[in-house]
Structure 1
Amino acid sequence: MVEDDEILSDVISRNLHMRQHHVDVAHDGLVALNLLGAKTFDLIIFDLDFPGQAGWDLLRTVLQEPYLHTNVVLKQRWAFPVVVLSVMRVSIQLLTELQLLAYVPKPFAMEALLHFAAQATTRSPDTVR
């Protein structure tokens, strides 16, 4: 999960942990890039508004960086679902361009995120990260 709001990321993490999901949290873009380069994931929950780099720019960077492709991108498609969680409005064009699974506007129902985590878990034998 890439979320700079520590309280919100804690609430989301606790809810996912209670459902047996493992969660790695990045509070900024640099940490997110390091995690994405080092591990594989079943799902990413991504806030668009965080310090250091705009979320859209970070997502585009991930799609363009060759060293991330083995873990994150497969032939210009994400190797796992990406859910954008943000107060920013998201156009259908951006969702299509970045091939995101979903946009969940803040404030949101926790059940929406839990639904996507459950979907990702059934898609892959690994736990959601």
Structure 2
Amino acid sequence: MQTILIIEDEEDIAELVSFNLQRSDFEVELAHDGLRGLAKAKEGLPDLIVLDLMMPGMDGIALFKELRREASTRKIPVIMLTARGQTEDKIQGLELGADDYMTKPFSPKELVLRVKNLLKRSSHTESGAELVCGPFRFIKNSLLFYVDGERCDLTATEFKLMLYLCERKNVAQDRHDLLKDVMGYSGDVHSRTLDTHMKRLRRKLGERMDCLETMRGVGYRVKIDSE
């Protein structure tokens, strides 16, 4: 049974989310302030964290930075919860490496779907297969990624996006397909989320950032010159 840690100071919201996750056969841990949430994350190492941004003790952005500093919690997928009007906090969270976000008020059933989709994206793939695409190398079963032989730390979402594009190298991929097939979104409302992930991914590629191209009016592609 996979464990979800909910860090949310509004107890009624936390309990509602917990109830829906438990109905979907998840084990749930709760924390109602940032400091306690950070301690529970480090102690329990949950499979996924649902993190509110506005909390007493330690806000969600500061907590998230701490999670990413620690080797043991760095790879835990995180869904951030934001209030309406917190656009800058939401974008900051995505740029720091959060995997997803939801804006309050939200549907608990939709959150459960997001949790399932993110866990699926974060799960190791079978067989330990590798893919080499130009300067990029993927080890699928452990979500490891290398650029010119050097390890490059990607979130699970970044890894899946880059892998999807490299498996279809030199061909423009429609942003709707990326949102649907890789990120599990049914509409285009999360286009800015995709763009933020791509911006962060391009930055991580360093000198190879030009391989990740924006195709205006279409989406994105990985361009690999013929060897």
- Provide the TM-score with structure 1 as the length reference: 0.79
Among 108, 112, 116, which residue is 1:114 paired with?
112
Q: Which has the higher strand share?
A: 2
Among 4, 8, 11, which residue is 1:3 paired with?
8
- Hey, what does 1:35 align to over in structure 2? 40
Partner deviation per Cα, 1:1-26 (whole Å, 9 max, x = no partner): 10011111011000000010111111
Task: State the identity as a percent.
Answer: 28
- Hey, what does 1:83 align to over in structure 2? 79
Query: What SS is found at the alignment partner of 1:11?
Result: helix
- Hey, what does 1:101 align to over in structure 2? 99
Higher RCO (CA < 8 A, seq sep 6+)? 1
Query: What SS is found at the alignment partner of 1:57?
Result: helix
Partner deviation per Cα, 1:52-101 (whole Å, 9 max, x = no partner): 1221112112223xxx322x11xxxxx13211112151336414422111
Query: What SS is found at the alignment partner of 1:25?
Result: strand
> Could you list the runs of 5+ residues in structure 2 that have no partner in the other structure?
1-5, 125-227
Two-structure CA RMSD over aligned residues (Å): 2.0
- Hey, what does 2:23 align to over in structure 1? 18
Separation in 1, partners of 2:92, 2:40: 24
**Is the contact made by 2:16 and 2:108 (CA closer than 8 Å) also made in structure 1?**
no
Larger radius of gyration: 2
Question: Does 2:54 match 1:49?
Answer: yes
**Is the contact made by 1:44 and 1:83 (CA closer than 8 Å) also made in structure 2?**
yes
Query: What SS is found at the alignment partner of 2:15?
Result: helix
Separation in 1, partners of 2:54, 2:14: 13
- Hey, what does 2:186 align to over in structure 1? none
Structure 1 residues 17, 50: closer, same or farther in 2, change over 3 A?
same
> Could you list the runs of 5+ residues in structure 1 that have no partner in the other structure?
74-78
Separation in 2, partners of 1:42, 1:120: 10
Which amino acid in structure 1 is aligned with residue 65 of structure 2?
R
Partner deviation per Cα, 1:37-61 (whole Å, 9 max, x = no partner): 1122221110011111221112112
